[in-house]
Structure 1
Amino acid sequence: MLYKDFKTSIKSLGFLSIEDFMKYIGVTSSDVLEWEEKDEVPYTVSLIVHLLKGEGELPNNTALDSVVEECLPLASLLEEASSFPHKLEEMFLLQKELNDSTNGKNWELGVNKFGKEINWLRCIHMEVAELIDSAPWKHWKNISADPDMKNIHVELVDIWHFLMSYILQETNVPKGVSLVNTHCIYEAVEDVDVKLMIKESEKLSYISLAIETGNMPSFSGIERFIDQFFRTCKISGLSFTWLQKLYIGKNCLNKFRQDNGYKEGTYIKEWNGREDNVVMIEIIDTMENVSFDILTEELTKAYSKCK
């Protein structure tokens, strides 16, 4: 609505002055001056005038179309998010199953079936270092190199394995799902700021070290961990959907490694010049929904060719 039409409309509605209308809808003088300069009032204001007039059809506005268009991706995300609790439960159960089979029952007490200490916080700290090493952070070497974003996403999935394990050590599956669920709804950035990504990744190390050294309570540390982890995923361009897909793939690969001599040191990690992680990603990239059993079959086929 043009400003001049707006002035005419509010008089026809019985307002003695623009000031009276300002008080009625709660706007300031600076707002009205801006409308006058642009010779246009905001759509919400024209809508109020329209409603007060009691007119049947809503006024057209291209700005409203833009708002609706901007909201569509969010609506799709919220619709997709309805499946997140189920996906989270699936991941937590898979992680518990993997930990049970790899470390033995009662691994939550901090020792595996071989009497070896389990330290999930240290695991996270070390994986963060590997993530950062996939980016060109060194000022003395390959300073113009591009970050290896595929591997960075894999490292985030590795951190997720250990973070879920730490959550399970301190709580249980239902509580873990409840703690994580609200953090999964986010839009991953498309244009990754590498410097920011490194800084946010490092915060995961700071949290793990703070808990380890007794400078942060464990439970509040978990909440900080979850919040920071998904923030790091977001600014690294890793959506929750792709995180879940990669997790299923990496969980399957981890079990495959254990079944093929990983603990004993006989497992071959380089498959004809390519790391097993790379082969796994190529396989799941062709799958709309990642099937644990089918992926195991495909990994078995690929592994047999490198022996």
Structure 2
Amino acid sequence: MLYKEFKESIKSLGFNTMEDFIKYAGVTSDEVLDWEDKNQVPYIVSLVLHLLKGEKELPSTSSLDNVVEECLPLATLLDEASSFPHKLEEMFLLQKKLNDSTNGKNWELGINKFGKEINWLRCIHMEVAELIESTPWKHWKNINSEPDMNNIHVELVDIWHFLMSYILQETNVPKAVSLVNTHCIYEAVTEVDVKFMMTEAEKLSYIALAIDTGNMPSFSGVERFIDQFFRCCKISGLSFMWLQKLYIGKNCLNQFRQDHGYKEGTYIKQWNGKEDNVVMVDILEKMDDVSFDDLYSKLEDAYNSCK
């Protein structure tokens, strides 16, 4: 608002003199002199005047519009973040249920119901290798190929399964949620630097190996793991909301595999020329709200069609 418009506005509101307005608004005469000198009244003062006049159209400013535009993604993220503790609790409970089902009730002790040793750290290490295999890292083969970002995201979800299991081995569900919650608030990148992503993903392996070889205390390792994992999600373009959706999908698929002979070696992993992971993601993308039971039913239909 220009200073001339400002003077006209305060008169229309019933202020006889500038001193009357100064007394009412609580500003100083020096401030008003500065406005006159610059011939520009602060936006907040213009806004107050328009509100007092009851005008529907408020003054606009490009700088304010830019601030609002920049803040909208953050506001959306913070709004989503209010549901994160519930989503985390749901995921940790589903993971515990899956582990109880496949490994037996006392899997946290490191042995499954068949007497086989459980090593979540090695699982994470191996999944990181699979993630890297989804990138054109080889200098001797397919050097110009594009990274398979969909599969990279699926591999991150696999790592999340094993990381959650490792966290649950060290603590309980409420503590796990509180450890992870603040790390979930991030804005995933839209332009992925593949080389940088690989370097950061490899650090998950380093942490796993450091703990497994006794070079890093287990509990401090958990905190390092959580921080590094969500860093990897962020720089690979995987939002927490899509991570959660993919997790429900992969958890459901893992249970489906167990129910259909995965451990016994009779499960069919290729469904009509597509790996089951790919089919699961295709189904997820068509679902607005992901329900474990609904997804399980859709997987059953797809699996039966490939026999």
TM range (shorter): 0.7 to 0.9
- Spell out structure 1 runs of 4+ moving beyond 4 A: 55-60
2:265 aligned counterpart, secondary structure: coil
How far the C-alpha of 1:56 sits from its partner, in A, is 4.3
Q: Which residue of 2 aligns with 1:138?
A: 138
TM-score norm. by structure 2 comes to 0.83
How far the C-alpha of 1:210 sits from its partner, in A, is 0.7
Residue correspondence of structure 1 range 99-178 to structure 2 within 5 A: 99-178=99-178
Inter-partner Cα distance in structure 2 for 1:56 and 1:108 = 65
Q: Which residue of 1 aligns with 2:91?
A: 91
CA deviation vs aligned residue, 1:215-248 (integer Å, no higher than 9, x gap): 1111111011000000100000000000000000
For the 8 Å contact 1:124–1:204, the answer to whether it is kept is: yes
Inter-partner Cα distance in structure 2 for 1:114 and 1:47 = 73
Question: Once superposed, what is the RMSD of the aligned Cα atoms?
Answer: 2.6
TM-score norm. by structure 1 comes to 0.83
**1:281 equivalent in alignment to 2:286:** no
Inter-partner Cα distance in structure 2 for 1:235 and 1:75 = 20
Gaps of 5+ in 1: 3-10, 19-39
Residue correspondence of structure 1 range 48-87 to structure 2 within 5 A: 56=49, 61-87=61-87
The aligned length equals 273
Q: Which residue of 2 aligns with 1:306?
A: 306
The one-letter amino acid of 1:232's match is C
**1:222 equivalent in alignment to 2:239:** no
Inter-partner Cα distance in structure 2 for 1:160 and 1:12 = 61
Inter-partner Cα distance in structure 2 for 1:231 and 1:130 = 18
Q: Which residue of 2 aligns with 1:180?
A: 180
How far the C-alpha of 1:65 sits from its partner, in A, is 1.4
Inter-partner Cα distance in structure 2 for 1:47 and 1:176 = 48
Q: 2:30 aligns with which of 1, 4, 13?
A: 13
**1:200 equivalent in alignment to 2:200:** yes
**1:251 equivalent in alignment to 2:251:** yes
The one-letter amino acid of 2:176's match is G
How far the C-alpha of 1:61 sits from its partner, in A, is 3.3
1:111 aligned counterpart, secondary structure: coil
How far the C-alpha of 1:47 sits from its partner, in A, is 4.4
CA deviation vs aligned residue, 1:256-301 (integer Å, no higher than 9, x gap): 0000100000101011111000111111111111111111111111
How far the C-alpha of 1:70 sits from its partner, in A, is 0.7
Inter-partner Cα distance in structure 1 for 2:29 and 2:288 = 60
How far the C-alpha of 1:68 sits from its partner, in A, is 1.0
1:183 aligned counterpart, secondary structure: helix
The one-letter amino acid of 2:265's match is G
CA deviation vs aligned residue, 1:53-100 (integer Å, no higher than 9, x gap): xx8469853112101111011101100111110000000000000000
Inter-partner Cα distance in structure 2 for 1:198 and 1:14 = 55
Q: Structure 1 residues 210, 56: closer, same or farther in 2, change over 3 A?
A: same
2:183 aligned counterpart, secondary structure: coil
The one-letter amino acid of 2:218's match is S
The one-letter amino acid of 1:139's match is H
Inter-partner Cα distance in structure 2 for 1:60 and 1:88 = 41
Q: Which residue of 2 aligns with 1:5?
A: none
1:266 aligned counterpart, secondary structure: coil
How far the C-alpha of 1:12 sits from its partner, in A, is 5.9
Inter-partner Cα distance in structure 1 for 2:61 and 2:267 = 64
CA deviation vs aligned residue, 1:87-123 (integer Å, no higher than 9, x gap): 0000000000000000001100000000000000000
Inter-partner Cα distance in structure 2 for 1:14 and 1:208 = 60
Inter-partner Cα distance in structure 2 for 1:180 and 1:14 = 48
For the 8 Å contact 1:47–1:59, the answer to whether it is kept is: no
CA deviation vs aligned residue, 1:128-151 (integer Å, no higher than 9, x gap): 000000000111111110000000
Inter-partner Cα distance in structure 1 for 2:181 and 2:147 = 29
Gaps of 5+ in 2: 3-27, 51-57
